[in-house]
A = this chain, B = another copy of it.
């Protein structure tokens, strides 16, 4: 921390991504090596050469029925009025399904059509057509025929064809070896003890799993310290036995980002910086025959860069086409501004509401792993585009199967911990269901229902006039919609303070007098509206509150903030205090209800949701948390359209 800092002198390139990929591929001398595997263990591998059948299937003329094998010509005169008799082992032999039809026999008669006179004599009344009920040699597979071209990806049924033709080993493409080198003094392994300023090394493990999925062989190197000499030794060793080396991170252009200089010294650098957001600080180079890729440390940048640059190399070695993601046309729910001059990769939530796919952007920060986890798809905005206005249509690449998006219940509104539990419960009742929830606050939830972007909104809005919850807001904002308010639960709101309540906060006055650092919620959140009401009741304004402008988007975020600061205080629900080990001083019992469109409420999905809510298992889980009372079989309140 005491290092002296120089002003930065190195600037990153703004190379178009596709140009960087093409240039990299042109420099990549893909070494396609062959590995021979047992066919039975070749699932998911790619053939390095065409494969020909070693043997026919069947490899003999096989009976397709239980019956007798005959010489067809000898049966031609058989007739109901003139049955002919055949002698066993001379004129016929018994065969079961799968048995050989020995020469000179050339037809099979089903046992049902045979009249057995004695042990050795039978009678037939119909002629046999030559080759009837026989599976001839090679009916399925002919010896020497090409079963699969090179480049074929082996599926279970293919293994059947290989074994059936006695092709017991196959030449597959050896998986390209990708060595992953995590670097950084601040990194510790996930299981280790951790202190402030330290970061868990998880990118490397994520890389390894992606590479495995794409068909490469990942080698995850232990963490390397920020020591140029140490990295040099590790890098030179990795180059010897890898097709690709990925270094994470140190790919930027800061005074301590020496990776680019090292690659330049040991080999060459093609690219330093691509015109993307996120993901810009990428290094692509080559040492000996090995491609070296330096990717940024922020998770989202890192995973996107891996997909852009490492995946094509793997498929180049495998010589199979890169899988493409399904595309979907969506309506953009909120304005999205593009990063002019750079390709912009926006992680999107997609809801299927009223027959329309509505997509909204997730947080854009490159450090927010959960934005990728939660994404239903990604919107790529080209460098020349200004972005999208609300209501415009855009094409997104899907991260989930379309069916999953279609099945999702979109729940936009206030945050309550039970919504997640409800999602889990619903999956138990109906496994293809899912609740996709966004925490934007009660008022924004009402607006989402108004705009047709959500099926459900969790809301807890106290009307300062009537001191009633929710109904007056619905009447005010949703006069043009048919909606249903489903009374969900009552919960306790209260002051969240550090364990032991060091400032001895009991009321809003205490917060002001004892200069508590207040942790607020975002505008439109029911909790914020409650706090504002309490403020007004005391005749105070926002300026009296330290931290009034510091906004958090969930109860847990408020609680996490309070936990880290002895002077802090927040307003939130009991379970959040409980989860973070804080003290809780109750302020209000509030109604947290579910607002739904009438159409959704009456749909099968809506019924499934109510079933999950009213299940004994769910009630038990929710009330077991503390601070909650769940309404039993409440009467839903219908709001009709005002003309």
Contacts and interface: CB of A to CB of B under 8 A. Distances in A.
A327 to B, nearest CB: 11
Interface string A153-169: 00011111101101010
Contacts of A147: 373
B160 A206 contact: yes
Interface stretch (A207-215, A482-490, A494-502, A503-511): A207-215
Interface string A1-44: 11111011000000000000000000000000000000110010
A142 B563 CA distance: 12
A399 to B, nearest CB: 9
A556 B550 CA distance: 78
Given A324-B403, A427-B150, A137 B190 contact: no
A515 interface: no
Contacts of A205: 40, 159-160, 163
B428 A369 contact: no
A608 interface: no
A557 B142 contact: yes
B421 A561 contact: no
Contacts of A39: 190
Nearest to A100: B196
What size tier do the contact residues of chain A reach? 35 or more
A363 B559 CA distance: 66
Given A156-B210, A369-B164, A197 B403 contact: no
Interface of A: 1-5, 7-8, 39-40, 43, 50, 55-62, 64, 66, 93-96, 98-100, 102-103, 111-112, 116, 119, 130-131, 135-147, 149-151, 156-161, 163-164, 166, 168, 186, 190-191, 194, 196-197, 199-200, 202-203, 205-210, 212-213, 254, 256, 297, 299, 303, 319-321, 323-324, 365, 367-370, 372-373, 401, 403-404, 407, 417, 420-421, 423-424, 427-428, 431-432, 434, 549-550, 554, 556-557, 559-561, 563-565, 576, 579-580
Given A5-B94, A159-B202, 19 more contacts: A7-B112, A43-B213, A58-B199, A61-B564, A62-B197, A64-B367, A66-B254, A138-B556, A138-B557, A139-B367, A141-B369, A143-B560, A143-B580, A150-B428, A157-B372, A160-B205, A163-B206, A321-B431, A321-B432
